Structure 1
Amino acid sequence: MNKDTTTPPQTSWTITEEHVGTRLDRFLTTQIDTLSRASIQQLVSDGAILINGKAASKSGYALRLNDRVQVQTLIPSSAVKNVVAQVMPLDIVYEDADLIVINKAAGMVVHPAPGHYEDTLVNALLARYPELKSQQEDLRPGIVHRLDRDTSGLLLVARNLQTQAALIEQMKAHQIEKRYLALVEGVVSLDRGSIDAPIGRDPRNRQQMTITSIDSKEAVTHFKVQERYQHHTLLLLQLETGRTHQIRVHLKAIGHPVVGDPTYGTGRLRYGITLHRQFLHAYQLRFTHPTTGATVELEAPLPEDLQSILDQPEFL
């Protein structure tokens, strides 16, 4: 789906025969989908990547059997200093002393990345919640999971490191429930079902993900039909895992890509539909509050651009 996600990436490995002789930077780009080779090379220069407990001397190091590779940070040293607080509107659904839930607008990137340090949710959060600056050891202070730029909906943010660590542990244990609404192409025949297919980086296009058994991770998406139309289906989806672009990749795989998805769908809109992004919205969120132990359940209705599509069933 959208980089909706997520469980924090693995940051340590023991090299097996499969990867013996592979360049260090090439190996890491296949293991950590958020890092480019240039970023990894910068991390090597920073001394942030260890081989058998010692800083790697070069990004082209050829891996050996049983080498222990450790990545100490995912953010190059040159990046953090470029992130500044920016006052931007935020739709706050819930907040207390420990955490915030945002109803993210479509079009907003969640956190900065090398080459894109402005106009992200993190920039807005730093302006509204100055205490997050104390967490700014990387480009994602407080971020627990992500949504793609053009996916709207509920996003959980921690206001302190203890809460962030606790929520990430809940995420790893599949204790945070995230449900999405998606309008897909075609009529889905099953009333409900599950898609269990591993996802990894597409070797032919490094900017995309695909279902593959090579350098992939387990990915499970559950779906339930909410409404069938003549040419489309509205689905309620729940993630068991949080892989990059998981929903979008899985729905493409079953022949029902998300309407308006230019990457994993046709990107073409038919039957009179006008939409400027994929029809995907993080609709419901349920988690246990790390401090109080209370169950928090939240819902964000479809934004106007998506709801207007459903209000015209004659086009669906």
Structure 2
Amino acid sequence: MTKRYASKNKQQSKALQFKVEEEMELLPFLLKVMSNRSRNSVKSILARGQVTIDDHIETKYNYALHPGQMVTVLKNKAAIKQNVLIGMTILYEDDAVIVINKEAGLLSIATEKEKKQTAHHQLMEYVRQEDPENRIFVVHRLDKDTSGVMMFAKSEEVKRTLQNNWKRVVKERSYVALVEGEVTKQKGYVSSWLRESKTHMVYSSPTKNDGQHAITHYKVLQSNQDFSLLEVQLETGRKNQIRVHMQDLGHPIVGDKKYGSKQNVIGRMGLHAKVLSFQHPTTEQLLLFQADVPKSFLKKSK
């Protein structure tokens, strides 16, 4: 079986990097550092999701930049044709699965508004370069504003094997969450029954057995009076589970306005899928993949 571990250097060689020296909005900054390009050209680079700030894709013209931040720009449209994947890197690939590190800001799968700028669509295009018959199948999802490790299958059979045996196959699935306020209890868990409203808000029902049972374990990694960095382990994998349970805990995830956050000091949501360990669907070998904790999470919770 062919195995491929991705090198970041290949992707970075097709990108431009600029360090922010002073407070400035994103569009004026790009026009300044890319003075050889027209305003419309720079706007289209932003719209295509080719600009990353530290650890997330940014498309807003008026995004406020701060000194010390790193802005990365994929060079041009040609870069996309040369296999550069926007908003993600491939950590591992073989004949059965592809494992990626997804940036915050990239959709996992298509929505009514966005069909192409997704991890699924890009990987489909990527595998079809080798053979037009190749396909990619969604095994699990990460929210658009959640970064980290995510796996796709290369066949319907592998997808079914993984999904039907998810609890047995997945050995570890841990996240880090930057939450508001100081979490004083060093470790604990939240257990509730989750329901979803007609407006797609997930919430904990006050009634036992009313909805899907969800259990989230957490441990404080570091904290100060304003923010806490938690390691979060899922015992169950429900939609928006961590986001709802952190709100229930009284410490919503930073930047998660939908579930109670009052501020967005890192320009993205503070949730990151750090570790995914699973038994390979065909070889049964145990594999473990990690995506580094975003630096902005570590800085705010020091």
Task: Give the TM-score normalised by structure 1.
Answer: 0.63
Question: 1: CA distance between counterparts of 2:108 and 2:280?
Answer: 22
**Runs of at least 4 residues of structure 1 off by over 6 A?**
none
Aligned-pair CA distance for 1:309 = 4.6
Q: How many aligned positions are there? A: 216
Local SS of the residue matching 1:257: coil
Distance in 2 of aligned mates of 1:300 and 1:175:
17
Question: What residue is the counterpart of 1:194 in the other structure?
Answer: 189
Which of 177, 201, 225 is the matching residue for 1:208? Answer: 201
> In the alignment, which of 99, 110, 118 is matched to residue 101 of structure 1?
99
Q: Distance in 2 between matches of 1:92 and 1:291?
A: 20
Tell me the SS of whatever aligns to 1:290.
Answer: coil
State the Cα distance separating 1:133 from its structure 2 match. Answer: 7.2
- SS where residue 257 of structure 2 aligns? coil
Segment drifting more, 165-174 vs 246-255: 165-174
Residue type matched to 1:125 in 2? L
Post-superposition offset of 1:225: 1.1
Query: Paired residue for 1:302?
Result: 293
Gaps of 5+ in 1: 1-85
Q: Confirm whether residue 162 of structure 1 aligns to residue 157 of structure 2.
A: yes
Contact 1:199/1:218 (CA < 8 Å) preserved in 2? yes
The structural deviation recorded for 1:312 is 5.4
Aligned partner (choices 85, 88, 94) of residue 88 of structure 1:
85
> 2:277 is aligned with what amino acid?
R
Q: In the alignment, which of 220, 233, 237 is matched to residue 232 of structure 2? A: 237
Q: Report the CA distance shift for 1:135/1:220 in structure 2 as closer, same or farther (over 3 A).
A: farther
Number of the residue aligned with 2:166 = 171
Q: For structure 1, which segment, 210-219 or 279-288, has the greater mean C-alpha deviation from structure 2 after superposition?
A: 210-219
Q: 1:197 to 1:312 in 2, by over 3 A?
A: closer
CA displacement, residues 49-69 of structure 1 (integer Å, 9 cap, x when unaligned): xxxxxxxxxxxxxxxxxxxxx
Q: Does the CA-based 8 Å contact 2:270-2:297 persist in structure 1? A: no
Tell me what 1:151 maps to: 146
Structure 2 unmatched runs, 5+: 1-82
Counterpart amino acid of residue 185 in structure 2: L
Asked if 2 retains the 8 angstrom alpha-carbon contact of 1:126 and 1:133, the reply is: no
Q: Counterpart in 2 of 1:113? A: 111
Who is 1:290 aligned against? Answer: 281
Residue deviations 1:262-298 (CA, integer Å, cap 9, x gap): 11122414xxxx3211111000111101111111111
Preserved CA contact (<8 Å) 2:229 2:297: no
Cα distance change, pair 235–120 in 1 and its aligned pair in 2 (3 A): same
- Contact 1:135–1:161 at 8 Å: present in 2 too? no
Kindly provide the amino acid, as one letter, of the partner of residue 202 in structure 2.
M
Q: Distance in 2 between matches of 1:312 and 1:113?
A: 32
Cα 1:311–1:87, aligned 2, differ >3 Å: closer, same or farther?
closer
Deviation sequence 1:29-72 (CA, Å, 0-9, x none): xxxxxxxxxxxxxxxxxxxxxxxxxxxxxxxxxxxxxxxxxxxx
How high is the TM-score relative to the length of structure 2?
Answer: 0.66
Tell me the CA shift for residue 134 of structure 1.
5.4
Matched to 2:298, the amino acid is: L
Whichever residue aligns with residue 283 of structure 1, its letter is K
Q: 1:135 to 1:211 in 2, by over 3 A?
A: farther
On the 8 A contact 2:180/2:254 being kept in 1, the answer is yes
Partner of 1:70: none
Give the whole-Å Cα distance in 2 for the aligned partners of 1:256 and 1:287. Answer: 30
- Kept in 2: contact 1:186–1:233 (CA 8 A): yes
* Secondary structure of the structure 2 residue equivalent to 1:197: strand
Q: Which has the higher strand share?
A: 2
Task: Summarize the Cα distance change of 1:176–1:158 in structure 2 as closer, same or farther, 3 Å threshold.
Answer: farther
Secondary structure, counterpart of 2:200 in structure 1 = strand
Deviation at 1:243, TM superposition (A): 1.1
Q: Deviations for 1:160-215, whole angstroms, at most 9, x for unmatched residues? A: 12221111123254734210001111221222111111111135xx1311112486
